Amino acid sequence: MNPVLTSADVLAMRMRALGLVPGAPVERRPGSDTNGATGPDGATGTDAGSGSDSGADRIAAVARHMLALQGQDWRSSRWALGVRAAHLAGDETTLAHVAAAFTEGRVVRTWPMRGTIHVVPAEDIGWVQSIAGARPLAGAAKRRAVLGLSDALLERLVEVSVQALRGGDGLSRGQLAETWTDAGIEWRSNWRYHVIWWLCQNGVAVFGPTDGVAEPRLVLAEEWIRDARTPEHPAAELAARYAAGRGPVRAKDLAWWAGIPAADAALGLDAAVEQGRLTRMRLADTTGAAGALWAPSDALETGSPVPEWLLLPAFDEHLLGYALRDPQLDPAHFERIVPGRNGMFLATVLHRGRVAGTWKRAARAGGGIEVAALPGARIDLEALAPEAGRWAAFHGLEPGPIRHADAASAGRDGL
């Protein structure tokens, strides 16, 4: 009989799977295995917590465990990696370790799914795009028609871009666009995003090396990614890896997250069950497909308690990783996290795993952060101080005061 979970059970299991609990099931590999392939369908042969204690190892381990993290806001994605790496054994993790993981070619930033940029293990981007990249590409021709970009001009821009990137150490978006001008191409400013997206979505380029502060530079994927993985069962691999980094999930969650048909998501989840990598569960008092859950086979094991307080970045997988987020967020407060339902998720304050408010870096003198509680919630500023200190240390900042923000100043910049 399938285990029956309460909403509280789902929340606790999701927090552990998301890497937001000490002792989360994140496997580490030493840096000597840079950009190397894992075994069949994700088996590493490495025990959790083993390997070296380098910060780059911890960052790469987080990326590998999560498979893909939202990356449309570069600054936020760095803390999404850092806040999870903080729960792994080892020394303090910093921006420099994020830079090392990228510059060593272990992690890349690119478009794997939903037409949205993510942080992805370099070894996995190819096979993920083979499953989830078709839908975004299908609408590209219509978008170019709106932009006034012909197929012939796109082909020329791609040709010049590949020539400019070949054998180099990477170019910024602006530098790449300069090569188009140097080649005599009269291009429009609103073409740049589409051309770079096209290069990345088709697996031609990725964002790779960085100093940890500036956005990673574009490089050719064929030159940058070594030992790319090709799982024997990609659909099962996608489902199993997704659930391993998200906890109990519905088929609808996977379909939304990966941008794939619901039927394909269900088939992948069932295949992962047959492989013994996932287990079917049910949500209490919920019938039909809405109550059907899948989770890793060891998800019911008791782990460390959920932290009292956490500061998560904008666009974090804590919310963006699911279509149905009720265990983590009261649906009545959704528009306070995504004002106007415009897709711009604010940085969140968590209390025992549930969203209690939003936060941002303070612009006023003295630095620090400002928090805005959700209606009916209370944020304990003193209890939040250690988390704010970890955020500051990761960014190389001196800890500053924590203040309650007025409604007019609440914003997205929780970085």
Q: What residue spans define the domains of the chain?
A: 1-303, 329-409
At residue 30, does pLDDT exceed 70?
no
Mean pLDDT value of segment 102-118? 96
Contact 235, 267 (CB under 8 A): yes
What is the share, in percent, of the chain residues with pLDDT greater than 70? 91
Distance CA 363, CA 278 (A): 45
Q: CB atoms < 10 A from the CB of 146, how many?
A: 9
Residue 73 in tokens:
């806001």
Structure confidence at residue 405 as a pLDDT band (50, 70, 90): confident
Going edge to edge, which strands form the sheet with 309-312?
309-312, 348-351, 354-361, 369-373, 402-404
Residue 23 in tokens:
């002792």
E strand residue ranges, 135-260: 205-207, 218-220
Going edge to edge, which strands form the sheet with 292-296?
4-5, 278-283, 292-296
Mean pLDDT value of segment 71-77? 96
Structure confidence at residue 45 as a pLDDT band (50, 70, 90): very low
Q: Which region among 50-59, 85-94, 226-235, 354-363 has the lowest average model confidence (pLDDT)? A: 50-59
At residue 36, does pLDDT exceed 70?
no
Beta strands at 292-296 and 107-113: parallel, antiparallel or unpaired: unpaired
Sort 185 into a burial class: Cβ within 10 Å, 0-12 / 13-18 / 19+. Answer: middle
What is the share, in percent, of the chain residues with pLDDT greater than 90? 80
At residue 29, does pLDDT exceed 80?
no
**Average pLDDT across the chain, whole number:** 91
* Between residues 50 and 210, the one the model is more confident about: 210
Mean pLDDT value of segment 243-268? 96
pLDDT in tens, 300-357: 887 789 999 999 999 999 999 999 999 999 999 999 999 988 889 999 999 999 999 9
* Between residues 41 and 112, the one the model is more confident about: 112
Taking CA atoms, 185 is separated from 153, 157, 174, 380, 406, in Å, by 8, 8, 15, 57, 49
Three-state DSSP class for residue 221: helix
Report the run of H or E that residue 56 belongs to, with start and end.
helix 55-66
Radius of gyration in angstroms for the set of CA atoms belonging to the chain, rounded to a whole number: 21
Structure confidence at residue 410 as a pLDDT band (50, 70, 90): very low
